[in-house]
Every structure is written in structure tokens, then in C-alpha cells.
């Protein structure tokens, strides 16, 4: 009876052991390599041992090992179905795995093949690549079992995909990745050069801060995807995660926060929120530097707690900047829109990275590049557009100010001209009515008392000069004989009194013009002829007045020495002429060059009735 019971128990134990063994074996599917093989996710063909309870073994398509466990063992089997050698590459997406040991199991003996990781010099990498890439060579029809040991940092989670690729597929995908990486750094370099160029001309610190931010963001991304160690470190160096990754991350975050305050003009629009951000940045800097470089043991023993604190601060910082974006949007929606889009991509990339590395929830790798890499490209693009809009805003403001200055100058010049005309009228009236009358009275007294013809002639000459001066200052003939005849009289007087020969011609020019139009035109013609007399050294001047289809044209042309109208700045006289013509809705143009004389052309709109 006892013997039967013993046999039954032994049988049950044997059945249970076999079922357990079968269950374990069923978890390890063999990866078959045939002619169509390109790549496969190792997670689907592996058995994970020594996993902690918070390690995701089945739920995700990548390996995730939680905060507690340090060593993780993965067993997998590969069968080469080809009649030739198969060259495969086992590649990990995460670049900060502390130790990777790949061993081959032969006759139940574990034979190490590769040992690499951040704990070792870069020369231990089996393949010169930004990612840990381990070559696996299989003989024809060989079935090989492997054991993979991953050691992670104490107290920190580890998330990584492990992909087995054919050598050809590895090279093809590596080429595509290099193109994407090159595009990213090409865009970054252009953004930096553009920002420094703008900083050189505008001398505003915001553009320098942006350039430095893009540099450190590029360093952070290059460290995150493994390019930094590949490019900047020698094979005898080790990768220092804190120095080559965390430090770049912290600096780029601080620079972005400072840059955002400049972009959103926080000092003027949200000063209290700006102070809140400054306090948070100080806390972040002190906390991260102390934990990562001075109290590393404290950090390692309570990583999950400090990560929660860090995430809480990060969320508060995000919230404050979102509020600032909303408040600043009312002032400048174009610039704010581009900055908001850049900010959204930054948040998406950061959040995806946290969900992947800290919680193992979401796979964020595409073509073996993290989502943060792609969002950073978009972030830099939209931030550069933001900078472009900032430059545009500055030039728009300057143009507005320049226009306002020009308008004010025109107003001042107009007021000056009106004052000048008013003063001319007053002086002309004073010369004609007061001084002219007194000279006439003086002439009568002298003629009655002294009977001296020479004195009388001298007084007559003085009277004529005063009358001519009064007429020149304020020509009353404009009201009586019209603009055309007054200009003709002025030309004749200049010809008689100087060696200058003036030729006056009029073609269908109207006899009468509105008083303000005729006054302004006369002053322009008078100023033009005075300039010719003073500066041109001309001998011949042609004056033409013409009535065109819908405008009046007045041209004054001389054969003098001319001047470079494009190079020489207009003096007060020319500015007065232009202002007077503009006041009556006309246009004044001057065509002159050295030794070629000068042509002054005045056109004003005119409708015949």
C-alpha cells in the first residue's frame, strides 16, 4: 500500500516537473534565420530570468527592468536554416547600459563572447557604432543558444529594445539613421549660425542665448543617441552618463527656461511668474548638482523618490510657461504660436522619454532613434521660426518708428515753411508799406530842402531796391498777373541782372491757379533758380511750363556742373522744395550728374474744366 502511494506521488511529481519544464520551454521560441530574414525583436524569442516584480516581461515589446533588480539574464536560441554562414547583429537601442555580457551555451557550458557597456572603455565595443552592436556568426544549419546578461545602474530602471538584424539590414538602416542624424545637426548648425548672425547685428542677448541653447540641446541629443561618445571620445575613454548626458540635459533645460522668458517678455508681462521660474531653476540646479556629483549614494538609494520630486518640479515649470504663453498670445499671436508649437514638441518628447525609461509604458523608438530626437528637430525648426518672427517684429517696429519720424519731420518742415511764408508776407508788407512810405517821404523832404539831383537819384534807387526785395519776398503779382507771368517776369529780371541766360517757354499752361498752389510752385521755382545762381556755374537755363492730359509739368534745366544726386544728401533748400510740392499733392524729381547739368521736374495733378 505504501509502495503504491510512493509510486503515485513520484508519478505526480514527475508529471508536474515535466509540465513545468514544458511550460518554460514553451516560452523560449527559436528564432529561425532564412533567406528572407531582415530583423526580429529579441523579446519575442527570449526567456527572462531574475526579473523583479515591476519588470515588464510580457506586456511590452522591449525589455524593462525596474528600480530594484540590478542583474538581468536573458536566454534565447537561434537556428540558421541556410546552407551558408549567417552574419547577424544584436543591437540595443539604449546607450547607457552599464554592462552587457553575451555568452554562448555549448554543451551546457556558458562561454562569454562579448563583454561591454558604460563600465568599460569604448574599445570594448565589438563594433564601432553609436549603439551597442554585437556581431553573431552562425555556421550553416547551426542551432545556437545564447545567454545575455544586462547590468543596470543601482536603483534605476532600464528600458531597451534588443533587435537582431541581418548584416545587410543593419547597414541599410544605419545609412538611413545617419541621414536623419545629419539632417538634425545640419538644421541645428544653420539655426546657430543664423542666431549668431542676428546677435552680431542687433546686439540683443536673446539671440546669443538661443544659439547656446541649440548647441547644448544638440550635445544632449548626441549623448542620448550615442553620437557624442562616437565622435568626441577616444576608444580609451568611458562614457560618463552624468558628465556627458545629465549635465547637457540640465544646461539645455535652464537655457530653454531663460530663453522662453526673453521670448515671452516675462519681465514686462508676467513678472511674478518669471520670479517663480527663477526660483525653480535655482532649486533644480542645486538639487541635481548635489545629487549627481556629490551625494550619489543618497541618490542611488532613493532614486524613485527623487525622480518623483524632479517630475513634480518639471510639471510645475511646464505649467507656468504654458500660462505665460497664453497671456503673451494676446500681444503677439504669430510669434507665440510658433513658440507654443516648439514647446509642445519639447513636452511630447520629454514625456515620451519619461514614460519609456522610468515606467516602461511606451516604446518611443523609431528606426532605432528615440521620439525625443524627432521632436527636437521640430522644436528647433519652430524655435528658429520664432526667432525669425522676433527679427521681423524688430524691423517692423523700426520701420514704424522711421515712418513716424519721417511724418514728424514733414510736419515740422511744413510748419517751418508756413512760418517762413507768413514771415515773408509780414516783412514784404513792412518793406512796402512802412519803409517804402518813409523813403518816399524822405525823397520829398530832400528834394524840397536841398534840391540835389544825385541824392534824389540815390533815394530812387533805394526805393526800387526795397520794392524789388519786397516783391521777391512776397510777390503780390501772383494775385494779379498769375503764376505763369510772375515766373516769366522773374526769369527776365534774372537775365537782366546777371550773366545767366534764361529761356522761358509755356505750352497751354493755365493762366490762373489756386492761390496756395501758385504760391508753393513759385517758391519752388524761385529756390531752384537761386540754387542755380549759387552753385551750378551755368550759362543757360531753360524753363518750361506745360499742361499735360491730367497734370501740370514745370521743368528747369541748366548746363552747369551738376552733382551726384544719388550720393549727395539733400540740403534744407531741396527738402523745402520737396515739402512744398508734396503739400499740393505733386511730385518733384531731380536728375543730375557731375558735369552733365541738372534737370528739376515738377508735376502736380490738374484737371481741366
pLDDT at 10: 46
157: phi then psi, degrees, rounded to nearest 5: -75, 165
DSSP state letters, 150-174: EE--TT--EEE-EEEEEHHHHHHHH
pLDDT at 480 over 60: yes
DSSP conformation letters of 129-149: SSS-EEEEEE-TT-EEEEEEE
- Higher per-residue confidence, 314 vs 379: 379
One-character DSSP codes across 63-104: EEE-SS--EEEEEEEEEE-SSS-EEEEEEES-S--SEEEEEE
- Tell me which range, 57-61, 133-137, 587-591, is most confidently predicted by mean pLDDT: 133-137
CATH class, domain 27-169, is mainly beta
Q: Pick the more confident residue, 465 or 127.
A: 127
Q: Which range, of 72-76, 430-434, 510-514, 593-597, averages the lowest pLDDT?
A: 430-434
How are the residues of the chain apportioned to helix, strand and coil, as percentages rounded to the nearest 5? 60, 20, 25
Residues 482 and 521: beta-carbon distance below 8 Å: no
Judged by average pLDDT, the poorest of 3-17, 206-220, 486-500 is 3-17
Distance between CA atoms of residues 297 and 9, nearest Å: 51
Q: How far apart are CA 190 and CA 555, in angstroms?
A: 53
Which numeric CATH code is attached to 481-609?
Answer: 3.30.565.10
pLDDT for 95 beyond 50:
yes
Contacts 24+ apart (CB under 8 A), 356-362: 356/159, 357/94, 357/157, 357/159, 358/157, 358/307, 359/157, 360/55, 360/56, 360/60, 360/62, 360/64, 360/66, 360/157, 360/159, 361/60
Tell me the average pLDDT of the chain: 82
Share above pLDDT 70 across residues of the chain, in percent, rounded to a whole number: 81
pLDDT band with cut points at 50, 70 and 90 for residue 211: very high
Predicted confidence (pLDDT) per residue in 554-564, tens digit: 999 998 888 77
Mean pLDDT over 284-304 rounds to 72
Q: Tell me what pLDDT residue 582 has.
A: 85
Q: In the predicted model, is pLDDT for residue 53 greater than 80? A: no
For residue 188, the model assigns a pLDDT of 95
At residue 99, does pLDDT exceed 90? yes
pLDDT tier, 439 (very low <50, low <70, confident <90, very high otherwise): low
Q: What is the mean pLDDT of residues 173-182?
A: 94
CA distance 485 to 1: 151
- 151-177 pLDDT, tens digit per residue, is 988 778 889 999 999 999 999 999 999
Residue 273: which pLDDT band, with cuts at 50, 70 and 90?
Answer: confident
pLDDT value at 24 more than 50: no
pLDDT digits (tens, 9 = 90+) for 555-596: 999 988 887 765 556 666 787 788 888 888 889 998 887 777
411: pLDDT confidence band, cut at 50, 70 and 90?
Answer: confident
Quick: pLDDT tens for 305-329: 777 787 788 788 888 888 888 888 8
Amino acid at each position: 500500500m505504501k509502495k503504491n502511494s510512493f509510486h503515485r506521488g513520484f508519478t505526480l511529481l514527475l508529471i508536474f516537473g515535466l509540465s513545468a519544464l514544458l511550460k518554460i520551454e514553451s516560452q523560449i521560441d527559436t528564432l529561425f534565420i532564412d533567406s528572407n530574414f531582415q530583423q526580429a525583436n529579441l523579446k519575442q524569442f527570449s526567456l527572462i530570468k531574475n526579473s523583479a516584480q515591476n519588470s515588464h516581461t510580457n506586456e511590452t515589446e522591449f525589455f524593462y527592468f525596474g528600480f530594484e533588480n540590478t542583474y538581468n539574464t536573458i536566454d534565447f536560441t537561434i537556428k540558421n536554416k541556410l546552407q551558408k554562414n549567417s552574419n547577424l547583429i544584436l543591437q540595443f537601442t539604449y546607450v547607457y547600459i552599464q554592462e552587457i555580457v553575451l555568452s554562448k551555451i555549448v554543451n551546457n557550458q556558458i562561454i562569454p563572447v562579448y563583454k561591454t557597456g558604460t563600465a568599460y572603455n569604448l574599445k570594448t565595443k565589438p563594433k564601432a557604432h553609436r549603439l551597442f552592436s554585437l556581431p553573431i556568426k552562425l555556421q550553416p544549419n547551426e542551432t545556437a543558444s545564447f545567454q545575455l546578461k544586462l547590468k543596470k545602474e543601482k536603483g534605476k530602471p532600464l528600458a531597451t529594445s534588443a533587435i537582431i538584424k541581418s548584416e545587410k539590414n543593419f547597414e541599410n538602416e544605419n545609412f538611413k539613421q545617419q541621414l536623419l542624424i545629419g539632417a538634425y545637426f545640419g538644421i541645428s548648425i544653420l539655426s546657430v549660425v543664423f542666431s549668431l548672425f542676428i546677435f552680431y547685428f542687433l546686439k540683443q542677448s536673446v539671440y546669443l542665448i538661443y544659439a547656446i541653447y541649440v548647441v547644448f540641446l544638440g550635445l544632449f541629443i548626441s549623448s542620448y543617441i550615442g553620437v557624442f561618445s562616437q565622435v568626441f571620445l577616444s576608444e580609451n575613454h568611458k562614457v560618463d552618463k552624468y558628465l556627458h548626458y545629465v549635465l547637457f540635459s540640465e544646461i539645455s533645460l535652464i537655457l530653454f527656461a531663460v530663453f522662453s522668458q526673453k521670448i515671452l517678455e516675462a519681465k514686462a508681462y508676467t513678472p511674478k511668474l518669471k520670479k517663480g521660474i527663477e526660483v525653480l531653476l535655482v532649486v533644480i540646479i542645486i538639487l541635481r548638482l548635489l545629487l549627481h556629483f556629490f551625494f550619489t549614494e543618497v541618490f542611488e538609494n532613493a532614486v524613485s523618490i527623487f525622480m518623483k520630486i524632479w517630475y513634480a518640479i518639471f510639471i510645475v515649470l511646464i505649467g507656468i510657461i504654458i500660462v505665460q504663453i497664453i497671456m503673451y498670445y494676446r500681444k503677439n499671436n504669430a510669434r507665440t504660436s510658433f513658440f507654443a508649437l516648439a514647446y509642445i514638441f519639447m513636452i511630447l518628447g520629454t514625456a515620451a522619454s519619461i514614460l519609456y525609461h522610468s515606467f516602461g509604458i511606451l516604446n518611443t523608438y523609431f528606426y532605432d532613434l528615440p521620439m525625443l530626437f524627432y521632436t527636437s528637430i521640430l522644436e528647433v525648426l519652430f524655435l528658429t521660426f520664432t526667432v525669425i518672427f522676433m527679427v521681423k517684429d524688430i524691423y517692423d517696429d523700426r520701420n514704424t518708428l522711421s515712418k513716424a519720424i519721417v511724418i514728424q519731420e514733414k510736419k515740422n518742415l511744413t510748419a517751418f515753411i508756413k512760418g517762413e511764408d507768413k514771415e515773408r508776407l509780414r516783412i514784404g508788407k513792412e518793406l512796402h508799406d512802412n519803409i517804402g512810405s518813409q523813403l518816399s517821404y524822405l525823397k520829398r523832404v530832400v528834394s524840397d530842402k536841398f534840391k540835389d539831383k544825385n541824392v534824389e537819384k540815390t533815394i530812387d534807387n533805394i526805393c526800387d531796391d526795397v520794392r524789388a526785395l519786397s516783391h521777391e519776398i512776397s510777390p503780390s503779382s501772383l494775385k494779379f498777373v498769375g503764376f505763369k507771368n510772375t515766373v516769366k517776369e522773374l526769369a527776365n529780371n534774372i537775365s537782366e541782372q546777371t550773366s545767366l541766360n534764361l529761356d522761358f517757354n509755356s505750352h497751354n499752361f493755365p493762366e490762373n491757379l489756386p492761390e496756395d498752389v501758385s504760391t508753393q510752385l513759385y517758391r519752388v521755382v524761385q529756390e531752384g533758380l537761386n540754387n542755380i545762381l549759387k552753385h551750378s556755374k551755368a550759362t543757360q537755363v531753360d524753363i518750361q511750363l506745360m499742361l499735360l492730359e491730367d497734370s501740370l509739368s514745370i521743368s528747369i534745366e541748366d548746363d552747369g556742373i551738376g552733382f551726384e544726386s544719388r550720393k549727395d544728401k539733400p540740403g534744407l533748400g531741396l527738402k523745402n522744395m520737396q515739402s512744398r510740392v508734396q503739400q499740393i499733392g505733386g511730385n518733384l524729381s531731380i536728375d543730375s550728374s557731375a558735369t552733365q547739368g541738372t534737370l528739376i521736374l515738377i508735376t502736380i495733378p490738374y484737371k481741366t474744366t
